[in-house]
Amino acid sequence: MFDKLIHSDWSVSPGKRWAATAERQAGHWVVEPPALVGPAAAFLDRAFVAVRKQRVLLGFDFLIGVPVAYGTQTGIRSFRELLPLLGEGRWSQFFAVARLPAEIAITRPFYPLSATKGVSRAELVAGLGVGSFDELLRVCERRTAHRQAACSLFWTLGGNQVGKGALSGWQAVIRPALLRGAALWPFDGNLTDLSRTSGVVLAETYPAEAYRMVGAGFMPGQSKRRQADRQEKAAAIWAWAERHGVVFTAPAADALASGFGSSARGEDQFDALLGLLKMIEVAEGRRAEATERHDGTAAWEGWILGR
């Protein structure tokens, strides 16, 4: 599936947005080093130019979808139908994070704008008319025996919040790409079907899940933020690549060997690359694209590629 894979480690800050690329050449995936995404419009332009000759899968590590407990209250049938309405008419305040509990609504679900005294998750739960904060998590974000629960899309406070990145990504790349004819996985179909014709396909990723996949997990006391700890993972990543016929260009190999440098942006480049490796696993069929579901949540919640 696909001829070109691009994985972006996204951030609200443009200086922290990095993307790594792999192209299928002579039966191998050839990996280029991460590069700054730059202006979102130009980034999309490059992806759409590539589809003249290639089938392109574009992955982003921000959330794409909404919890079904929220979606069923919108009066709309699916997330895919909701997306083009956001920011217009009844939905004009959707991208404006609520400052006060009284401003929270189905049409303005993100809260709070800032950390002020008394702010609580209970206010968000009440404002969105759900029974508990857990109902504001998608199935793929809930706690399991192997991982902690994620933070809800709509709660925009704290170091693990994901809502601001989603708001940025939906406005900067997802909606513009869909207007240009891109497909959105899994809402528009499975990867096998979507890869049968040329075009851009967008998907949600989670780079941290690739650490264990390639044998590059961080042990207690280690940190992705430290160059030396990133450098230590290079051998496992190269071993994985050799087993699966993945080739790093010289600049990509140098970046990996150096732990992506000593600057703070090294951790973003690391995640851009690791997310790309997981996309390769899915594209090659060694990892299922998604867990099959029959509970009616998929039309609203989507999924994380390879989870």
Nearest to 259 by CA among 226, 294, 293, 230: 230
pLDDT in tens, 240-292: 999 999 999 999 999 999 999 999 999 999 999 999 999 999 999 999 999 87
Residue 187 near residue 299, CB atoms below 8 Å: yes
Confidence of residue 293 (pLDDT cuts 50, 70, 90): confident
pLDDT at residue 43, rounded to an integer: 97
Residue 234 near residue 240, CB atoms below 8 Å: no
Nearest to 60 by CA among 239, 277, 280, 276: 276
Q: Does the pLDDT value for residue 45 go beyond 80?
A: yes
Indicate the helix (H) or strand (E) that contains 272. Answer: helix 266-283
Confidence of residue 149 (pLDDT cuts 50, 70, 90): confident
* C-alpha–C-alpha distance, residues 304 and 307, integer Å: 6
Residue 124 near residue 155, CB atoms below 8 Å: yes
